[in-house]
Amino acid sequence: MKTMSRFFFLLWGIAFAFGLYGIIMKFMTAERLAGYGSYVPWGLWIAVYFHFIGIAGGVFAVGTIGYFLNIDGFRESLRVMILVSGVSIACGLFSVWLDLGQPFRALNILLLPNFGSMMAFNAWMYNFFMLAIIAIFFLSLNKNSQADINDRSGWLVPLLALGFLLSIAYPSQSGAFFGVVDAKPFWNSPLLPLLFLGSAITSGAAVLLLIHILLFHDTFNLRHQPYKMLRLTVIGGIIFYFICEFAEFSLVFWSPNSDIREAVELVMFGPFWWVFWVVHLGGAILSVLLLFAGRSDQAVGLGAFIVATTFISARLNVLIPGQAVPQLKGLQNAFHHSRLRFEYHPSLNEYMVAVFVAALAVGLVYIGIRLISNYTSKKIGAAL
């Protein structure tokens, strides 16, 4: 076990160092090393952003349902859930901040917002959510016992309810963020908010499952709660997502003149066909098998890990093909430059930064658990 820990720590160290170099290069060169351009203006960092935002929402939404229904394990792990959700949203926002052309003006969204824009609306929701979870964290320390639903002041439950609303609202709005773009027929679908919510719940539940296996494997039995609910949620989420995807894609191939056929063909048979078939579909099948039939912590944990990581393909398969189909067919050949292309391949720097953000998230959760455990031990005599 100790050797395994050392191996993972070494792996994390390598990923962090590799990513850190990428981040330094990014700050030195602004966006000049990025592979996206003006016709495909959003790339890997935006996918990472939406993935982390989805995890943040999903973790909180699933965790709160478990908390309200008093399912074993959820009230005990409330603060862990808050920490993971908070770290995820912070890392997602860090990723999108790096993507801004003028990152040091990011505060303009809070100071000069246009709430008619889904981006500004989302940004404010994230901030309300972060304020809510900070308050929830401190109120959770004010309970008489772990089993209580509310704290002594009576405000924990209302804030959890508000947090729950926000945690399902902003992942859905991530879909609406694309859905309102009339210029891109592939995005302009009412199904998108549902797909984004579905993937958020699925990946969030997978992260919660993974965290429970890592932290509470001695406390709970794999066949009982909270694992039972989390496993079913992940499996159900995967099935829901693929049913929606099948509904959308099958209509495209059934119809003789679908507006989005080119985009769907790009998803399934384009240069990144393996993202759909191997990462997305393959990852989902493997994880369903592991989650359904797994009898050991390792097998179930691996299944959860696969979902938590490979579901970024769900974002990529919406994000990139939607942009890669030009509305004006002659535009790419009208003026040549690497930034004026409808093909997109993430650059090495983009991969490095993405690895950094992922390593940062893992590191912050690890450090957070240690630091906050010390704090809560002093405060209420119980670890996180």
Partner 1 sequence: MSSVPQVKKDELNRRDFMRCAGVVGGGVALGVGAVVSARGSAPPESPMGPATVRKLPEPKTVPVNDEADILVRMQADLRRALTKPVEERRWKMIIDTRKCVGCHACTVACIAENKLPPGVVYRPVMTEELGAYPNVQMRFFPRPCMQCDRPSCTSVCPVRATYKRPDGVVVVDYDRCIGCRYCLSACPYGARTSDYGHYYTDDTPALQAYEQLPNHEYGKSWDRKGHHSPKGNARKCQFCLHRLDQGLLPQCVTTCIGRANYFGDIRDAGSIVARMATKPNFIKLLEEKQTEPTVTYLI
Stretch near partner 1 under the rule CB under 8 A, chosen from 25-33, 50-58, 298-306, 369-377:
25-33
> Is 215 buried (19+), middle (13-18) or exposed (0-12) by CB count in 10 A?
middle
Work out whether 257 is an interface residue with partner 1 (CB under 8 A).
Answer: no
Closer residue to partner 1 in complex, CB, 123/130? 123
d(C-alpha 369, C-alpha 240), whole Å? 32
Work out whether 93 is an interface residue with partner 1 (CB under 8 A).
Answer: no
Work out whether 68 is an interface residue with partner 1 (CB under 8 A).
Answer: yes
> Which residues, 6 or more positions from 279, have their beta carbon under 8 angstroms from its beta carbon?
310, 313
Q: What is the DSSP letter of 275?
A: I
Closer residue to partner 1 in complex, CB, 225/309? 225
Work out whether 117 is an interface residue with partner 1 (CB under 8 A).
Answer: yes
Work out whether 134 is an interface residue with partner 1 (CB under 8 A).
Answer: no
Work out whether 71 is an interface residue with partner 1 (CB under 8 A).
Answer: no
Among 1, 4, 28, 147, binds partner 1 (CB under 8 A): 147
Q: For residue 315, which phi and psi values (nearest 5 degrees)? A: -70, -45
* Contact (Cβ atoms closer than 8 angstroms) between residue 214 and residue 80: no
Signed CA dihedral, 115, 117, 120, 123: sign only: positive
Among 119, 251, 278, 289, binds partner 1 (CB under 8 A): 119
| CB neighbours of residue 21 within 10 Å | 15
> Which residues, 6 or more positions from 119, have their beta carbon under 8 angstroms from its beta carbon?
109, 177
| Sites for partner 1 among residues 329-348 (CB under 8 A) | 330-331, 333-335, 337-340
Judged by the rule CB under 8 A, the positions of this chain that interact with partner 1 are 30-32, 34, 37-39, 41-42, 68, 70, 99-103, 105-106, 108-109, 112-121, 123-125, 128, 144-145, 147-150, 154-155, 157-159, 161-162, 165-166, 180-184, 323, 326-328, 330-331, 333-335, 337-340
